Amino acid sequence: MPLKKEIDQALHTEEVVNLINGEKKYFDWVGISSFYSALHFVRGKMFPFDELINDKTVNYTSFDAYCLIRGNEFKSKHKILLELVNKRLPSISAKYKWLFDLSVTARYSDYQILELIGNAAVKKLQDIKNACI
């Protein structure tokens, strides 16, 4: 059963994506918001889950619990989640990574995102949503 809190946050952020995209102006924020909506969709889809470690079942109730138990102090939470999506949701991992890369570019390198790219972000978000709920 997906985590309701994460799915609710994803849907809320998706509403913002649609509002911003309707303005046909701030495609950097379309990309950034699409990524963060996707982040909550994948976290909602993946958690909770059990994993067998050294003949012991470990239950991860949330992404934060996973990071506390399995996290690596040398990896960011984004890196940990990218690896987890790749492992647990391989059918959408490339789309998730694309949105992550776009959000980093838009926030830190170049906010001038083309409408075509903004539309692609919305499409990838929709594909991720469909796979997660």
Contacts 24+ apart (CB under 8 A), 6-10: 6/40, 6/41, 6/43, 6/44, 6/47, 6/63, 7/40, 7/41, 7/44, 7/132, 7/133, 9/40, 9/44, 10/37, 10/38, 10/39, 10/40, 10/41, 10/44, 10/129, 10/132
CA angle 79, 74, 40 (to 5 degrees): 30
Taking the C-alpha atoms of residue 71 and residue 45, their distance in angstroms, rounded to an integer, is 19
31-86 pLDDT tens trace? 999 999 999 999 999 999 999 999 999 999 999 999 999 877 778 999 999 999 99
**Total-model pTM:** 0.95
pLDDT of the residue at 63: 96
pLDDT of the residue at 71: 76
pLDDT (mean) for 27-33: 98
Taking the C-alpha atoms of residue 29 and residue 23, their distance in angstroms, rounded to an integer, is 11
Between 22-31, 70-79, 83-92, the lowest mean confidence (pLDDT) is in 70-79
pLDDT (mean) for 15-32: 97
Side chain identity at 14, as an amino acid letter?
A: E
- For the chain, domain boundaries: 4-132
Mean of pLDDT over the chain = 95
Residue 2 has pLDDT above 80, yes or no: no
pLDDT (mean) for 20-30: 96
pLDDT of the residue at 1: 61
- Is the CATH number of domain 4-132 3.40.30? no
